[in-house]
Amino acid sequence: MEISTQNEKKAFLLDQRAAQRFGLALRLTVDGGEGATHDLSATGLYFASATRYLPGQAIEMVLEFPGTTGTRKLSCKAEVVRVTPVAREFNVAVRLLAPLFPE
């Protein structure tokens, strides 16, 4: 079976992640605007937003975790590492400046 160079690069990049990612849709607020996560890890997250951010830009966000006793909000700071336009929105990958779930 032959693997293309592009697939090899993709597999290598996936192995380079600092933490395991989990597909999870959470509501979030970013610099006053709303968005929703695609996935998250202890060190970063990927979310959809109507706002275009620039790589290297520092942002502040609040993640909303639903629970049996109500919604818990978690504030965090991050740096934008990648922005991908999708239709009228943007998919944004960020690196958290402090771990989301410290050990």
Q: pLDDT of 25-55, one tens digit each?
A: 889 999 888 889 999 888 899 999 999 999 9
Residue 14 lies in a domain: no
The pLDDT value given to residue 103: 61
Residue 7 lies in a domain: no
Give the separation between CA 100 and CA 83, rounded to whole angstroms: 21
Residue with tokens 């709303």: 34
Residue 59 has pLDDT above 80, yes or no: yes
Residue 13 lies in a domain: no
- pLDDT class of 67 with cuts at 50, 70, 90: confident
| Structure tokens given for 18 | 């600092």
The pLDDT value given to residue 21: 76
49 near 101, Cβ under 8 Å?
Answer: no
Identify the CATH number of the domain in which residue 55 sits. 2.40.10.220
Residue 6 has pLDDT above 90, yes or no: no
Range of the domain at 58: 20-96
Residue 12 has pLDDT above 50, yes or no: no
Residue 5 lies in a domain: no
Residue 4 lies in a domain: no
95 near 79, Cβ under 8 Å?
Answer: yes
Residue with tokens 């975790």: 65
Dihedral sign for Cα 65, 35, 16, 22, please.
Answer: positive
Residue 28 lies in a domain: yes
How many structural domains compose the chain? 1
Residue 10 lies in a domain: no
Q: Give the end-to-end CA distance of the chain in Å, rounded to a whole number.
A: 40
Give the separation between CA 65 and CA 72, rounded to whole angstroms: 5
